Amino acid sequence: MKTEIAGKTAETKSQSKSQIDRPENLGKPQMKWGSDVVAEVTRRLDLKYIALVPGASYRGFHDSIVNYLGNENPQMVICLHEEHAVSIADGYGKVTEEPMAVALHANVGLMHASMPIFNAWCDRTPMVIFGATGPVDAHRRRPWIDWIHTSKDQASIIRDYTKWDDQPASPQAAVESVLRANQIARSAPYGPVYICLDAGLQEAPLTEGVAIPDAARFAPPPPPAAPRESVLKVLDAIDKAKFPIILMGRVSRKQADWDRRVRFAEAIGAAVLTSSNDPSAFPTTHPLHFAAPCLRPSKAATALIEKADLVLSLDWLDLAGVFRLSLGTAQTQVPADKTVIHCSVDSIRTNGWSMDHQALAAVDIPIFAEPDQFVAQMLDEIEVKKTPVVKSRPEMKSLTHWNAGTGKSSANPGQPMSLWDMAMTMREFTKNRSVTFARLPIGWPGEAYEFDGPLSFMGNDGGGAVGTGPGHTIGAALALKDKGRLTIGVLGDGDYLMGVNALWTASRMEIPVMIVVADNRSYYNDEMHQERVAQARNRPVQNRWIGQRIDDPRVDLVAMARAQGFESEDPVSTTEALANALKKGAEVVAKGGRYFIDSVITPGYADSGPDQRSGG
Ligand SMILES: Cc1ncc(C[n+]2csc(CCOP(=O)(O)OP(=O)(O)O)c2C)c(N)n1
Ligand SMILES: [Mg+2]
């Protein structure tokens, strides 16, 4: 272990990034303060960005990032709301499967950030969050302000939906804290972690040597694999099955893993379903992907599940819920009459506060392994060790594929468009383009999900968190900045308006991105809920819009985007105008710009019934 002493010179890894916000006259910065130590360790973790809203509680740490690290590795991503700082980190983490750092001011910044932290927890996104409090030593607090911004056990606000938290009491303890935070955030199942930095510790001069060990020795372990015995057991069950189906749930963003999942499904001739809640997991137009992706099983997906005699869940979010829809009862009470295999490591991350672990499924072969590891093991068994497995499935021959005959807009030229028409226009636009949908809105039809790679779609807000869409989109676009892809966030108008001032960060950071709003001028999801309640109570359904519409006065969505540095033109309300705007937007973004489209649609979802389509 190497011992560093106070006065160490900051290591500067030169990077050819944009030169914005470069501090001047740094000379050779020396590690002299408590917060310099935290910055020094953070630098070694390869955290490229730190999204933040500033605050005096971490002014010491802020100074260390600017004047000790030179605002590089991590580089500051300035945001207009703590919610956006976390949502941007979430969007970034979904793409990269690597944490972005976040810095939040005291208890107030943390409270602002709590909702998207919950969302990142539900998304299983790695994230290293720095917060601050104090000075913990009351004698060093400034009158009034330091007292209101000091809380005892500040992390308790978010402990129920973070993987770990700490408040180190010395620079040396902070070294360990940051290394551990990084390790935990990056270990599957991923999630946010929180380190609360005492303002006193940050601002105190170093008085003794601090040991900063090699961060490589504190790397997370590789994700767990399954015992061979279980692999063989699963293969045997698949071999005996007549109609196996794979529920491709929360899997990795790596192309090699994607390719293996395709080879695996083909090798065992299994039908495949994917969820529109999760990032793209399997080519949606593949011949084995019979039913269109859906949030909760659609009629077609339910029919497939009913047919199946073997269900292999690769960390499917709501396995028991799937059976509930297809069997009409909670799977816990009446277990499905099928062989159920569930591969997941999620069980080690559950707690008693959040029910996001979902209902308990009855499982015949539980596999505690990271799904892509397991798929690789299964493939190895089939392809290398030549363990025989049936792959021809006569029962599947008669099935029709969801993609046969769908995929067209039904709007007449010049007529107002529906969400379906808008979705089909966007589907057409994405053909032969490398597009990443950072988000898609509630009610978006599964038939528009034409995904061909692990970066086609980043999934929705795992926590059902309205207002995260803009931040997620910008975080994803930042991660994909130089990757030659067009990042598009398609958002509801309610989601857009709640998170709208996240857009400024995209302009500030020169992030190429397109945002398209499905503008029904309503919190339409909840109109559906009010309709359902009115129906159940035999009350007037026509009042469902009250307390839901966002149209009087009409908000100028375009002006809000333009005001923050996006290019945009007047709202579009026909499929032809939308198609033209998309083309224009793609040109702007290809040149490194930002483009906004207000796509006005008639209220309504693509197929209906709040149970199938709506969120909470
Ligand atoms: C933070 C938060 N507040 C409220 C809700 C409840 N809610 C769920 S969907 C929704 C409407 C969202 O409106 P919009 O984004 O325009 O989509 P639309 O329903 O119109 O398709 C609301 C208010 C929520 N899920 N999260
Ligand atoms: Mg809406």
Closest Cα to atom 7 of ligand 1: 616
Closest Cα to atom 20 of ligand 1: 524
Q: Residue ranges of the alpha helices (H) in 347-468?
A: 371-379, 419-430
Which residues lie closer than 8 Å to 284 by C-beta, 6 or more apart? 274, 292, 293, 403, 449, 450, 451
- How many A from CA of 524 to the centre of ligand 2? 5
Given a contact cutoff of 8 angstroms between Cβ atoms, the answer to whether 416 and 408 are in contact is no
Mean pLDDT computed over every residue of the chain: 92
Mutate to test the pocket of ligand 1, among 81, 522, 525 (most ligand atoms within 8 A of CB): 525
The secondary element (H helix, E strand) that includes residue 50 is strand 49-52
Q: Which atom of ligand 1 is nearest to the CA of 491?
A: 15
Closest Cα to atom 4 of ligand 1: 466
pLDDT at site 406: 66
Q: 113-117, 392-396, 592-596: lowest mean pLDDT where?
A: 392-396
Nearest alpha-carbon partner for 501 in 49, 81, 112, 78? 81
pLDDT tens digits, one per residue of 290-301: 999 988 888 899
Q: How confident is the model at residue 12 (pLDDT cuts 50, 70, 90)?
A: very low
What is the average pLDDT across 263-281?
A: 96
Closest Cα to atom 6 of ligand 1: 616
pLDDT at site 322: 85
Q: Which ligand is nearest to the CA of 529?
A: 1
pLDDT at site 356: 96
What is the average pLDDT across 334-360?
A: 91
* Three-state SS letters, 526-556: HHHHHHHHHHHCCCCHHHHHCCCECECCECC
Q: How confident is the model at residue 19 (pLDDT cuts 50, 70, 90)?
A: low
| CA distance linking residue 593 with residue 591, whole number of Å | 6
Q: Which atom of ligand 1 is nearest to the CA of 525?
A: 19
Q: Which atom of ligand 1 is nearest to the CA of 527?
A: 19
**How much of the chain, in percent, has pLDDT values that exceed 70?**
93
Nearest alpha-carbon partner for 409 in 396, 400, 419, 401? 419
pLDDT of 1 strictly over 60: no
| CA distance linking residue 449 with residue 298, whole number of Å | 14
What is the average pLDDT across 23-43?
A: 94
Q: How confident is the model at residue 386 (pLDDT cuts 50, 70, 90)?
A: confident
Compute CA distances 164 → 64, 185, 216, 247, 606, whole Å: 24, 8, 20, 30, 41
- How many A from CA of 190 to the centre of ligand 2? 31
Q: Which ligand is nearest to the CA of 419?
A: 1
- DSSP character at residue 135: -
Given a contact cutoff of 8 angstroms between Cβ atoms, the answer to whether 511 and 481 are in contact is yes
- How many A from CA of 223 to the centre of ligand 2? 40
Q: Which ligand is nearest to the CA of 527?
A: 1
Nearest alpha-carbon partner for 506 in 73, 77, 99? 77
Q: What is the DSSP string of 65-125?
A: IIIIT-S-SSEEEE-SSHHHHHHHHHHHHHHHSSPEEEE--HHHHHHHHHHHHHHHHHHT-
pLDDT tens digits, one per residue of 226-238: 999 999 999 999 9
Q: Name residues contacting ligand 1 (CB within 6 A).
A: 441-443, 464-467, 492-495, 520, 522-526, 615-616
Q: Which ligand is nearest to the CA of 491?
A: 1
- How many A from CA of 492 to the centre of ligand 1? 8
Q: Which of the pair, 162 or 337, is modelled with greater confidence?
A: 162
Q: Which ligand is nearest to the CA of 499?
A: 1
- DSSP character at residue 398: T
Q: How confident is the model at residue 160 (pLDDT cuts 50, 70, 90)?
A: very high
What is the average pLDDT across 585-605?
A: 96
- How many A from CA of 554 to the centre of ligand 2? 12
| CA distance linking residue 410 with residue 422, whole number of Å | 10
- How many A from CA of 9 to the centre of ligand 1? 50
Closest Cα to atom 23 of ligand 1: 523
Mutate to test the pocket of ligand 1, among 442, 550, 557 (most ligand atoms within 8 A of CB): 442
| CA distance linking residue 475 with residue 481, whole number of Å | 10
In 435-555, the DSSP E strands lie at 435-439, 486-492, 513-519
Mutate to test the pocket of ligand 1, among 114, 472, 526 (most ligand atoms within 8 A of CB): 526
| CA distance linking residue 601 with residue 234, whole number of Å | 47
- How many A from CA of 442 to the centre of ligand 2? 9
State both tokens at 150.
Answer: 């000091």
pLDDT at site 297: 84
| CA distance linking residue 148 with residue 235, whole number of Å | 60
pLDDT of 5 strictly over 90: no
End-to-end CA distance of the chain: 51
Each residue of 346-377: b (16+ CB within 10 Å) or e? beebeeeeeebeebebbbbbebbbbbbbbbbb
Closest Cα to atom 16 of ligand 1: 494
Compute CA distances 235 → 129, 239, 312, 339, 378, whole Å: 42, 6, 11, 12, 8
Bridge pairing between strands 30-31 and 8-9: antiparallel
Closest Cα to atom 11 of ligand 1: 523
pLDDT at site 611: 38
State both tokens at 561.
Answer: 């985007």
Nearest alpha-carbon partner for 481 in 19, 23, 17? 17
Bridge pairing between strands 127-133 and 192-198: parallel
pLDDT tens digits, one per residue of 453-487: 999 999 999 999 999 999 999 999 999 999 999 99
Residue 311, strand partner residues: 245, 340
State both tokens at 377.
Answer: 């093991």
62 CB-side CA count, 13 A:
17
| CA distance linking residue 439 with residue 460, whole number of Å | 6
What is the average pLDDT across 527-545?
A: 96
- Spatial strand order of the sheet with 594-600 comes to 435-439, 486-492, 513-519, 594-600, 567-568
The secondary element (H helix, E strand) that includes residue 238 is helix 228-240
- How many A from CA of 440 to the centre of ligand 2? 12
* Three-state SS letters, 364-386: CEEECCCHHHHHHHHHHHHHHCC
Q: How confident is the model at residue 308 (pLDDT cuts 50, 70, 90)?
A: very high
pLDDT at site 295: 86
- How many A from CA of 518 to the centre of ligand 2? 7
- How many A from CA of 599 to the centre of ligand 2? 11
Q: Is 5 exposed, middle or buried (0-12, 13-18, 19+ CB in 10 A)?
A: exposed
Given a contact cutoff of 8 angstroms between Cβ atoms, the answer to whether 293 and 274 are in contact is yes
pLDDT of 10 strictly over 70: no
Given a contact cutoff of 8 angstroms between Cβ atoms, the answer to whether 238 and 266 are in contact is no
Nearest alpha-carbon partner for 50 in 94, 16, 86? 86
Q: Which atom of ligand 1 is nearest to the CA of 519?
A: 16
Bridge pairing between strands 100-103 and 192-198: unpaired
What is the average pLDDT across 548-562?
A: 96
- How many A from CA of 318 to the centre of ligand 1? 21
| CA distance linking residue 501 with residue 575, whole number of Å | 28
